[in-house]
Amino acid sequence: MIRLLRYSLVLVLISLASCQEVLEPKPVDLLVDDLVLNEPNDVQPVRIGLYSAFRGMASANIIAGDFTADYIQANGTFNDYIQLGTKQITASNGAVDALWAGIYNTIYVANFIIERLPLVSGVPEATKKSVLAEARFLRGWANFIGAYTFGDIPKVTSTDQGPTPQLPELPKRIFWLQCWPITRRL
């Protein structure tokens, strides 16, 4: 009898734990972009987010960008490094994918700041100019790393996440020509 009660209790608990709401929660339809950079206190966290995105492409830049310049010899069994060492890189290479994602993550956050910061009232003009300059610089630097590493890359200047249009590839010389006036002033 005790055994029957135990099994009944276990069955009841299993049936309660397998409710439809627990197994299939409703999806959340929320864009974080609508919650960020709405007031002056949001400027510094978004600025930190930009540098965090930029920092995310650093190790991938060293691995995928610099290792292809005869700095490594493939001695191990990791396929990503073998491809980099032999310069026969495929689209499935994780290091290259991480660099591409880091570049466009940085560009997205910079574009977000460039689009949204002028709409925020109450931000001191000096802070606004400084943060916008940093966003433009880091977007340009990410584009430079992308053009230097991959050659012709798409130039993204918006945060529009609608149906992705076929963005034209801009030759890397265009990115370098855009950097030329900056380097001449240094």
φ, ψ at 22 (rounded to 5°): -75, -40
Show the domains of the chain with their CATH numbers.
Answer: 39-185 (1.25.40.390)
For helices 125-150 and 43-55, angle between their N-to-C axes, nearest 10 degrees: 20
Report the pLDDT value the prediction gives residue 5, as an integer from 0 to 100: 74
| Cβ-contact 114, 136 below 8 angstroms | yes
- DSSP codes joined into one string, the chain: -HHHHHHHHHHHHHHHHT-HHHHSPPPP---GGGTSSSSGGGHHHHHHHHHHHHHTTHHHIIIIIITTTTT----SS-HHHHHHHHT---TT-HHHHHHHHHHHHHHHHHHHHHHHGGG-TT--HHHHHHHHHHHHHHHHHHHHHHHHHHSSEE-------SSPP-PPEEPHHHHHHHHHHHHHH-
pLDDT score of 86 more than 80: no
The pLDDT-based confidence of 102 (bands split at 50, 70, 90) is very high
Report the pLDDT value the prediction gives residue 12, as an integer from 0 to 100: 73
The pLDDT-based confidence of 128 (bands split at 50, 70, 90) is very high
Across the strands, what pairs with 153?
A: 170
